[in-house]
């Protein structure tokens, strides 16, 4: 009884307080662990989100790089075609006339017509009429219906000229015959 009496009062209050403090510390430790888990989970979520964002940026950059490379390849190909057409516009015209079903006889008329009109020079410019290019389009800007590069690209000029001849005369020989009669086509 003496021991119990000794533990009663302030000592008992102290022991109860110590137990309460221990319980409080245990609860705080659990809360702290839970908060740390939540924080770690949030950090993992953010890191995964950032990794997805970076991966998408890299994917888009690769797509853009492929698009630019394809544009450069096509531009180089077009430049090679234009260079070949500048060097030999008759070959291009022969092929494109053939695509329309016009054979060698029609090409012969086309050759005579455009030799007379421009000498097959894609920069031929008639200062008195403003006719321009291989087909001597009047005005030259009409050829823009075949491409923005009408002033510098013989292929664009040839396409336009063949369409013009087809639409107005039907064939190069009919255009040549008209030119022989009236000195223009």
Give the tens place of pLDDT for each residue, 147-161.
999 999 999 999 999
By the 10 Å C-beta count (0-12 exposed, 13-18 middle, 19+ buried), 117 is classed as buried
Spatial CA neighbour of 155 closest among 71, 97, 102, 104: 97
164-169 contacts, C-beta under 8 A, 24 or more apart: 164/135, 164/137, 165/110, 165/135, 166/100
Residue with the two structure tokens 């090409």: 107
Per-residue pLDDT of 108-128, as tens digits, reads 999 999 999 999 999 999 989
Average pLDDT, the chain: 89
Kindly tell me if the per-residue pLDDT of 38 is higher than 80: yes
pTM of the model: 0.63
């Amino acid at each position: 009884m003496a021991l119990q009496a000794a533990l009663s009062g302030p000592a008992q209050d102290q022991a109860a307080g110590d137990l309460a403090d221990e319980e409080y510390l245990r609860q705080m430790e659990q809360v702290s662990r839970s908060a740390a888990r939540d924080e770690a989970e949030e950090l993992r979520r953010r890191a995964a989100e950032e990794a997805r964002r970076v991966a998408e940026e890299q994917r888009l950059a690769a797509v853009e790089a492929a698009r630019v490379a394809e544009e450069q390849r096509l531009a180089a190909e077009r430049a090679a075609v234009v260079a070949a057409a500048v060097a030999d516009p008759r070959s291009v015209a022969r092929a494109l006339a053939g695509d329309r079903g016009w054979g060698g006889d029609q090409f012969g008329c086309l050759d005579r017509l455009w030799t007379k009109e421009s000498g097959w020079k894609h920069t031929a410019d008639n200062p008195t009429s403003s006719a321009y290019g291989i087909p001597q389009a009047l005005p030259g800007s009409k050829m823009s219906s075949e491409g923005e590069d009408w002033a510098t690209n013989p292929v664009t000029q040839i396409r336009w000229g063949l369409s013009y001849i087809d639409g107005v005369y039907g064939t190069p020989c009919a255009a040549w015959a008209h030119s022989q009669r009236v000195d223009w086509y």
